[in-house]
Amino acid sequence: MALDKVKPLKLESADTGGTQNDEFPTSLNQHEDYVECRGVVLDDATRSDESTVIAREDTDMLFKDGNNPAYVTLTQLLEHKTLIHFIDEGPADGFTSGATKTVTGTLFPTNILWSRADTTKLVEQSITWTGIKPTTIQWKLYAADGATVLVTVTDTISFTGIYETGRTRVIA
């Protein structure tokens, strides 16, 4: 499929931050010029609506589309995806070295907390035991401030005897 590409026309002035003075509408140079605007609405061949948007609010980049109608920030997208880098055994890809693990409990740990070297919380795992069986495991992923919980994942585990027979996961 060939794309119809268009170049915005520009009026550039050194007085308004440009590098040259173009007093008449001139085609944008895609190798040099930036387009400055509040946001971008993306359409397809059959829709011309405002369901798919990239925008800015203060210092946040915002995204939404037809499947995800509430805006999310780039920071939320990057922080939310990082929980997968913790669930087995601590921070990995995307995190700086030096994190520490603190375990509460003995043979059956009830809380595992990973923190940055400055003690800011990264991820916390809480385990509820019924006898020798972990019946609930909950993970909390913290924002960069170490206090705001970005996402909570709770597993409720079913057993027959000592064998796990099922697990229900709730993500909030």
Alpha helices in the chain (DSSP H): 74-81
pLDDT tens digit string along 12-32? 777 776 677 777 787 888 888
35, pLDDT greater than 60 = yes
**What is the 8-class DSSP label of residue 58?**
T
**What is the 8-class DSSP label of residue 23?**
E
Distance between CA atoms of 113 and 119, rounded to whole angstroms?
Answer: 10
Place of tokens 């509408």: 25
Between 14 and 106, the higher pLDDT residue: 106
Instruction: From residue 138, give the alpha-carbon distance in Å to each of 12, 128, 155.
Output: 55, 9, 6
pLDDT tens digit string along 115-125? 988 889 988 99
Model pLDDT, residue 134: 96
Model pLDDT, residue 103: 94
Query: What is the share, in percent, of the chain residues with pLDDT greater than 90?
Result: 31
| List of domains in the chain | 7-36 (no CATH), 78-171 (2.40.128)
